[in-house]
Structure 1
Amino acid sequence: MKRILIADDHEAVRSGLRAVIEQRADWEVVAEATDGGKAVAAAIESRPHVAILDFSMPRMTGVEVARRIRDYPLQTEVLIFTVHNSGLIAQQAFEAGARAFLVKSDANRLLLAAVESLLLHRPFCTQSCATDVDRGSSADGERHHELTAREQLVVKLVAEGYSNKGISAILNLSVKTTEAHRAAAMRKLEVNSTAGLVRYAVRSGLVEA
Structure 2
Amino acid sequence: MIRVLLVDDEAVVRAGVRAILASDAEIEVVAEAGDGRQAVELAREHRPDVVLLDIRMPELDGLTAGAEIRRVVPETAVVMLTTFSEDSYIARALSDGASGFLLKSGDPRELVAGVRAVADGAAFLSPKVAHRVITELSVGDPGGRMSRRSAALERIEPLAERERAVLALVGQGLSNAEIATRLHVVEGTVKSYVSTVLSRLDVRNRVEAAILAHEAGIVNRSG
TM-score (norm 1): 0.62
How large is the RMSD of aligned CA atoms in angstroms? Answer: 1.9
CA distance in 2, matches of 1:45, 1:74: 13
Specify the alignment match of 1:72 in structure 2: 72
Is the partner of 1:92 in helix, strand or coil? helix
CA deviation map 1:3-33 (0-9, x unaligned)? 1000011111111111111112222111100
CA distance in 1, matches of 2:107, 2:75: 24
- Percentage of pairs with the same residue: 37
User: Which ranges in structure 1 are unaligned for 5 or more consecutive residues?
Assistant: 141-209
Contact 2:5 2:51 in 1 (8 A): yes
Specify the alignment match of 1:82 in structure 2: 82
CA distance in 2, matches of 1:64, 1:96: 9
Specify the alignment match of 1:128 in structure 2: 128
Q: How does 1:168-207 map to 2 (within 5 A)?
A: none
Specify the alignment match of 1:20 in structure 2: 20
Is the partner of 2:40 in helix, strand or coil? helix
CA distance in 2, matches of 1:137, 1:131: 11
Is the partner of 1:58 in helix, strand or coil? coil
Contact 2:99 2:123 in 1 (8 A): yes
Contact 1:88 1:132 in 2 (8 A): no
Specify the alignment match of 1:187 in structure 2: none
Q: How does 1:103-114 map to 2 (within 5 A)?
A: 103-114=103-114
Q: Which moved more, 1:44-53 or 1:90-99?
A: 90-99
Specify the alignment match of 1:115 in structure 2: 115
Is the partner of 1:106 in helix, strand or coil? coil
Aligned length: 140
CA deviation map 1:40-83 (0-9, x unaligned)? 00100000000000111111111111100122243111110022
Is the partner of 1:5 in helix, strand or coil? strand
1:139 shift after superposition: 4.3
